[in-house]
Amino acid sequence: MEEAELELFRQAGKMAAGIREDSKRLIMVEESLLDIAETIEQMIAEEGGRPAFPVNISINDVAAHYTPEFESPATLTETDVVKIDLGIDLNGALSDTAYTVDLGGENGKLVTASEEALAKAIGAVKAGVKVGDVSAVIEDTIKGYGFNPIANLSGHMIKSNELHAGVEIPNVRTNDPYVLEEGDIFAIEPFATTGQGYVEDLEQVEIFSLYMPSSVRMRQSRMIVEHVIKNYGMLPFAERWVRKNFQSKLLVSAALKELLQNHFIRGYPVLREAGRGIVSQSEHTIRVTADGCEILTK
């Protein structure tokens, strides 16, 4: 990676870290989920970046891929365990970071489990270490707190313009032979749960991305495709983002359905813990070095 490209990744990470910390003031009882998401996304824009994906606000047993619907009336309650996952795209350099807030004060140990798993995983990272060794640290740390890691959610390699660049760092031990190399960039994101330790898809889908171009019949679908390519490229986008530009819910829903059926876009279903257990998440983007790692989102 050229020095100029690396510097962009560092800037994207620093920007994400600042916004992550600033956003914590928004997480309070009766706060609108939509206002939280749109405020964080506006923070990103004001800093000169754009969201690498729609801000995820996953609550209680929902682990990932939930972003508020267009004009959603939902608000936070006094018992919610709230996971905020945000990412920044800065001219192709991407960062990804997440945290958990326990509004009810009853799940502090669960939150600590994912935070400690992240810290210990980062401590295990250096060039020459196998992915499976890092995963084992995550699993052992979470289980040491009496919880289960979520087996089918993983950290992921990041490259320029690629948020998920192939290699994964699971939250459970694995025999993956990939060896970390100096300069690799990864998002490490332990998920801990009081439940069974895996997630399942819900029918609800609020986040999409371009997948494989093919012909589309509806004029509205073609208009949406042009809008997505121009504004979001290959990065994930929210239905609510599209609705702001195409006000008709029925037309947007029909168009997205056609695009999904024709494999022009892919959907990311909301993910819920299979045993309905509470979930916590913690995440940093790191760069592997010869003797450790550089935390880009610190």
Token readout for 140 is 């052992």
Task: Assess whether 239 carries a catalytic annotation.
Answer: no
Known catalytic residue at 184: no
Report the C-alpha gap between 43 and 242 in whole angstroms: 19
- What is the residue-wise DSSP string for the chain? --HHHHHHHHHHHHHHHHHHHHHGGG--TT-BHHHHHHHHHHHHHHTT-EESSPPEEEETTEEE---PPTT---B--TT-EEEEEEEEEETTEEEEEEEEEETTSS-HHHHHHHHHHHHHHHHH--TT-BHHHHHHHHHHHHHHTT-EE-TT-EEEE-BTTBSS-S-EEESS------B--TT-EEEE--EEESSSS-EEEEEEEEEEEE--------HHHHHHHHHHHHHTTTS-EEHHHHHHHS--HHHHHHHHHHHHHTTSEEEEEEEEETT---EEE-BEEEEEETTEEEETT-
The catalytic residue among 61, 80, 85, 258 is: 85
Catalytic residue among 61, 89, 96, 116: 96
In the set 31, 164, 227, 294, the catalytic residue is 164
Active-site residue (options: 41, 206, 273, 283): 283
Q: Is 3 a catalytic residue?
A: no
- Neighbour-count burial for 131-156, b at 16+ CB within 10 Å, e otherwise: bbbbbbbbbebbbeeebbbbbebbbb
Active-site residue identified among 189, 206, 239, 258: 189
Q: Which of 41, 65, 116, 156 is the catalytic position?
A: 156
Q: Is 35 a catalytic residue?
A: no
The amino acid at residue 88 is I
- Is 284 assigned a catalytic role? no
For tokens 């939280």, name the residue.
36
65 is catalytic: no
Catalytic residues: 85, 96, 156, 164, 189, 283
